Structure formats: C-alpha cells, structure tokens
Structure 1
C-alpha cells in the first residue's frame, strides 16, 4: 500500500505535464462549462456516479487521502461533472472524465504536489496561466488581477468550478476538429484530444483511463 501511495504521488507529478501547454490556442467554440451550466450530462442517460467510479477505480472512498479536504468520491463529484458535461457529447464527456481521473489521481488532489508548482491545479491539473484564464472567464479580470497564483487557484477549486475545468479547456483550447474527432468515441479522438493538451495519449496510463471511459460510456 505504501508503494502504491508513492506511485500515486509520482503519477501526479507526471500527469502535471498534461494540460501544461496546449500547442495552440484556437478560437473558443462554446461558452465555458462549469460557470453555471445546468443539465443531466451529455444526454446518454449514463449513471454518472457509476461511470466515474468505473473510470477512476479508487474514487469510491477518500480513506487515506493525503489532503482529505481536496479528495472527492465519485458520488460527491458526479453532480458537478454532469453539469460540466451538459453541452458535451458522450465521447467528449468520457474523455474529460478520463483526463480528470488521471491528472487528479482519482480526484485525490486539486493542486500539484510534485514538484509543487504554484497555482497549478484543478481536476485536470492545469498550469497557472490556464487556471488564471479559467478564473477570468468565471469571475472577470478585475477579480483575478493582482492575486497570487495560489490565490487564483483557490478561486476555482470549489467543486462547482473544479469539475468544470476539463470541459472548459476542451471547449476553449481545442479546435473544432478535435471535438468532432472526440465525438466519435474512438482512440483517434482521444489521441487528438491529448495532442491538443500537449501530451501523448497513447501512453499506457492514459490509454488505461480512456479504455475504462469508453466502456463506462458505452462508446
């Protein structure tokens, strides 16, 4: 168990290389999810709590979490993830949930632990510049200006915003072509999505989350 725990900390350090730098910043395609969207999800009738649990195997409990105040179970997170997915297709929703599971070590972290970069966090472990953009979209530039990176991160880590961060990145930072590819629910779509994020989606740990997500969403 101790070895698994330190493996998890290593994973979050590696995972933080994910939404660190999208290779391009295309024109936004939709409004920002996580900013008050309503709805039951992507319209598939998927039981979101069950889907999250299936995608993130350790999300059934927060027992032993290093930061208990940051950890959320599948049951706790499901309503917020459903809202974030309200305007996404099943494939897009599945991909964002898979990404969040990988980046947050099954929702046990809301901030970067290793190497501990200031301001890096949210469920998809965005770098501080993206966190700042996300906060600006939610609250306005005047509310963000002058705050430290960690203070800005604290603005967006409440559950109602935290679990909308991956959907925000997808809709704001990925091209329409990437989104169209994701809607197919294929490995090619997942690979394109990860290319937008700036990482290799074919890496075994990433593919493992995506494979579980495809099953959970019946893709």
Structure 2
C-alpha cells in the first residue's frame, strides 16, 4: 500500500508539471556525459570484480554513442531524449549489463535478448538488418539468436537501439504525447510502445533524466 501511495505521488507530480514540447539544448559528448553522471552517479566507474563486469560502461563511454543515436534517428526533443536515457538506465542496471542475464528473478539468459534497452531477439534481428547486410545477419542467425545479438553488442549499436526503437516502433501519436513531457505521455511510451510496466524506478529515472537534460 505504501509503494502504491508513493507511485501515485510521483504520477501526480508528473501530470501536474509537464515540460513544454521543447527542442533539446545543443548537447556535446562532454555535456551529455556530465548529465548522465548527474542522473546516475554510479555510472562514473565499473566494478571489475562483479559478474558480467565486461559489459559495464561508464557515463563517459556511453555519452558519445547515445549522442550519435539522437542525431542518427532524429531524437531532438528533450523529453524524448530523457525517455530514451531513462529506459536504458532502467533496463541495463545503470549501464552495467548489455545482455539480458536475468529471467523471472533467476540468473538466466534469454537467447537473443540484450542491448542497453534489453530488446527481444526479434527486435534485435530487425535492428541488425538495418545496420548489416542480409548475408551477415543470416549467417549469424544460423548460429543462433545470441550470434545476432553479438552483432549489435558494440557500444555504437547497443547504445543506439533505444533511439532506433522509438523512431521505428512508436506511433506518431505516442511520440507527440511523449514530447509533451507529461506523465501520461511517458506512461504511454512505456506501456503501449515498448510494452513495459510502470513502477517507481521508471518514474525516478525519467524524472531525473528530464531535469538533467533540460539543463
């Protein structure tokens, strides 16, 4: 009951104070890295002693690829940028994971699931086909879904998949609502576009991302 009360409070604040449909400020890799550090201070370093530490990336390592994804896929509205950043922070454990290692609470990998927004194997194959030749993807697919995931695992692709998904999978109406900065718009993005569920952590990352990226 307490958790529901807290979530309701977050929702009320988000609905009462939507940000305007404004263009993003002129980001650089350095300024975005600083914003990411403000949003998620733990991204400053990677703990090499933990499991899957090879997948961890710092705020500095993430900033450049994320910025390029905004440019490549035309994500120039600050509220959309905040949604993309918050999604990746939420799904990747603050940039600690690049592959989906956890299934139903257990340390278990779902074949083909990964990238920083933890796309399914189906979406990762579709995404890969926009980057690589049909022969390259078909050859990887013949070896299994994880081989396709491996194609899109490098930073330049992994940190760009969330922007690709927003551009190619969300409807015009969903994007317009998201651009408004309203809670309803963000909730529609999470539940209707990416097929996720709302919780307090999503709201927290979204709120912090909006504030930092708005400057």
Please give the range of the TM-score, normalised by the shorter of the 2 chains.
0.7 to 0.9
C-alpha distance in 1, partners of 2:133/2:50? Answer: 33
Query: Where does structure 1 differ by over 4 angstroms across 4 or more consecutive aligned residues?
Result: none
Structure of higher CA gyration radius: 2
CA RMSD of aligned residues (A): 1.6
2:41 maps to 57
Alignment of 1:197 onto 2:185: no
Give 1:32-181 correspondences, 5 Å limit.
43-46=24-27, 47-63=31-47, 64-86=49-71, 87-88=74-75, 89-115=77-103, 116-145=109-138, 146-181=142-177
1:200 Cα deviation after fit: 2.6
2:20 maps to none
1:26 maps to none
C-alpha distance in 2, partners of 1:147/1:134? Answer: 17
C-alpha distance in 2, partners of 1:111/1:167? Answer: 17
Using the size of structure 1 for normalisation, the TM-score is 0.76
C-alpha distance in 2, partners of 1:193/1:65? Answer: 32
2:180 maps to 184
CA-to-aligned-CA distance 1:179-213 (integer Å, 9 cap, x gap): 11111122222111102111233x11110111111
Conserved? CA contact 1:100–1:166, under 8 Å = yes
C-alpha distance in 2, partners of 1:173/1:140? Answer: 21
Equivalenced residues, count: 177
For residue 217 of structure 1, give the secondary structure of its aligned residue in structure 2.
Answer: helix
1:55 Cα deviation after fit: 2.4
1:141 Cα deviation after fit: 2.5
Conserved? CA contact 1:65–1:71, under 8 Å = no
Using the size of structure 2 for normalisation, the TM-score is 0.78
- Where do 5+ consecutive residues of structure 2 fail to align? 1-22, 104-108
Alignment of 1:214 onto 2:210: yes
1:43 Cα deviation after fit: 4.5
1:65 Cα deviation after fit: 4.2
